[in-house]
Amino acid sequence: MAKLLFIQLNEYELHGLESLSASLKRLGHKVELLVPYFEKKPLARIEEFSPDLVGFPVASMEREEALGWARAIKSGFQCLIILGGIDATFFPELAQEKEVDLVCRGEGENALLGLANALDEKADFRKIKNLWVKIDGKIYDNSVGDLIENLDELPFADKELYFSRYPYFRNYPIKFFIASRGCPYSCSYCANKGLRELYPHPGSYLRFKSPEYLLEEIKQVTRKYPTRTIGFNDDLFIYDQGWLERFLPLYRKEVGIPFFCAGRIDLVNEEKVRILKEGGCYSFWYGLESADEAHREEILNRKMSNEEIEQGVRLLHRYGIKSQSYNILNYPGEGLKEGLATLDFNRKIRNDFVVSSLFQPFPGTELTKKLKEQGRLGDKNNSTRIESLSYFAFSPFQQADSKKLENLHKLFILGFHSKLIRKLLPLSVRLPKNPLFDILFLVSFGLDYGRVHRLNWWEIIKYNAIHIRTTYLRRKIRVPKR
């Protein structure tokens, strides 16, 4: 059978890799994971496993690092290199890179399984849907196949891919699951619209696992591994009220572990909140993004009112569920006035936690396309190299108040919790960028992260230190030599 090695360049549990691995293992293929930053001798491990295929799940900011690893592997090992993930989906021309043999676009279970079978049988794989294949310099750019309509047809996610080798994932007190795939909305800063347009039947883009399937998937993990909290990583966990009504009573009875989830706040209603509370939900995350209703609708394409947001938060609080908002600073058209207004609106509606990120012009989004058409990206004073993108470090997009908004981002959580700091913000954000603000951000983010995830002090320090290494302290491409 074929041997496949995934190399992951971040420290997050990726549901996509778990699904790919499960599909491959079900037919007898051998799959392993390598997270280089948890390995003392990563290249030695590659040599030991001797894979037929090495796959990189690539987000935009990881592209250059992935290519660096691919070059090192190509120079020392006899295997094919395939790129997948969001960056490969929108940039299949990465197949032109010397060290890349294949690119997978969109959902990869069927494509990767077909490829593994072909490698095992030494058969032709040039015409497998979703794949761009390079052979002898010629690229075969195949179309994207149909979506996987019935998620229950897939094997349960292969958590062992992470847990069997890395204690970091195995011992983390939160175990993460995903109940669905897709999103029907078209927020301008998100890639979902572009992803839907890849497929011939985009109307079926949002799909849910059956309650019984998801319940058994969760039980198999929680029986074996320590689990204090469960996190549902879906964009729209609360989208289908009928599904919630079927799933959560079963979850409460057969699992009963406290959980958090996310969704659009304008989809919140009293019946959904009641079901969530009775099912064990203690925290609900939602995207507020900006308190400016016109900007939210016209620039970010999130059609919801401040009244709807406030009403949703009130409902959550009435039932004892904590609310956490996501906010974007430095999106196109935002000034310091709007940024401060967003902070004040969070305080007004009494969210329990807040997170702010800095706008990133990610490829494949409508807002990035628009900025490029307007000539507002890529000039010599505004470098937007995709490997520089980072939600929490800085924004490569620059406008009049960008420096002030970057400082506001560092002080956003403290300004939310402290009236005194909020009063000082109009002056303090005008100061030059400085290490103190960075430290204040790291401390406030770490403490709030621990509170919302119910971590103890040691866990807060340990896990945030690991995340800081990858999301804040910018990594250099360092591929070890053999």
pLDDT tens per residue, range 264-275 = 999 999 999 999
Q: Output the pTM of the full model.
A: 0.94
- The answer to whether residue 62 scores a pLDDT higher than 50 is yes
Mean pLDDT of 288-297: 98
Q: Give the homologous superfamily in CATH for domain 174-454.
A: Aldolase class I (3.20.20.70)
| C-alpha closest to that of 328 among 231, 406, 442, 438 | 406
Express each pLDDT in 160-216 by its tens digit.
Answer: 999 999 999 999 999 999 999 999 999 999 999 999 999 877 668 899 999 999 999
Helix (H) or strand (E) holding 356: strand 353-358
Element of type H or E holding 175: strand 174-177
* pLDDT over 60 at 82, yes or no: yes
Cα–Cα distances in angstroms (integers) from residue 160 to residues 110, 214, 356, in the given order: 21, 17, 33
Q: What is the mean pLDDT of residues 68-89?
A: 95
What does the block give as tokens for 291?
A: 């308190």
Structure-token match 């839907």, residue found = 196
Owner of token pair 């496993």 = 49
Greatest Cα pair distance in the chain? 68
pLDDT at position 142 is 97
Query: What tens digit of pLDDT does each residue of 388-435 get?
Result: 566 677 788 999 999 999 999 999 999 999 999 999 999 999 999 999
Q: Is the pLDDT of residue 471 over 60?
A: no
Query: Regarding predicted confidence, which is higher, 12 or 21?
Result: 21
Residues 365 and 190: their CA atoms lie apart, in Å, by 5
Confidence of residue 382 (pLDDT cuts 50, 70, 90): very low
Q: Give residues with Cβ within 8 angstroms of 242, minimum separation 6.
A: none
Tokens for 206, please give them.
Answer: 């949002």
- Which run of H or E residues covers position 220? helix 211-222
pLDDT digit string, tens, across residues 293-327: 999 999 999 999 999 999 999 999 999 999 999 99
* Residue 37: per-residue pLDDT: 83
Q: Is 116 exposed, middle or buried (0-12, 13-18, 19+ CB in 10 A)?
A: buried
All structural domains of the chain with their residue ranges: 3-134, 174-454
Query: Mean pLDDT across the stretch 360-364?
Result: 88
For 98-115, write each residue's pLDDT tens digit: 999 999 999 999 999 999
Q: What is the pLDDT of residue 381?
A: 38
Rounded to the nearest integer, the mean pLDDT of the chain is 92
Tell me how many degrees the CA angle 63-33-109 measures, rounded to the nearest 5. 75
Angle subtended by helix axes 435-453 and 457-471, to nearest 10: 130
Three-state DSSP class for 476?
Answer: coil
Instruction: Report the distance separating Cα 261 and Cα 153, nearest Å.
Output: 24
Q: Side-chain half-sphere of 112: how many Cα atoms within 13 Å?
A: 37
Distance from the first to the final alpha carbon of the chain:
27
Per-residue DSSP letters for 220-283? HHHTTS--SEEEE--TTTTS-HHHHHHHHHHHHHHT---EEEE--GGG--HHHHHHHHHHTEEE
* pLDDT value for 475: 53
- Nearest Cα to 339, choosing from 264, 430, 268? 430
Give yes or no for residue 279 having a pLDDT over 90.
Answer: yes
Query: Do the beta carbons of residue 421 and residue 415 sit within 8 Å?
Result: yes
Going by their DSSP bridges, the two strands 3-7 and 53-57 should be labelled as parallel
| Residue 379: pLDDT over 60 | no
Question: Given 3.40.50.280, 1.10.569.10, 3.20.20.30, 2.40.50.180, which CATH number is that of 3-134?
Answer: 3.40.50.280
**CA within 13 Å, CB half, 6:** 24
For helices 270-279 and 241-254, give the axis angle rounded to 10 degrees.
20
Mean pLDDT of the region 444-470: 83
pLDDT attached to residue 166: 95
322 strand-pairing partners: 283
Kindly report, residue by residue over 247-264, the tens digit of the pLDDT. Answer: 999 999 999 999 999 999
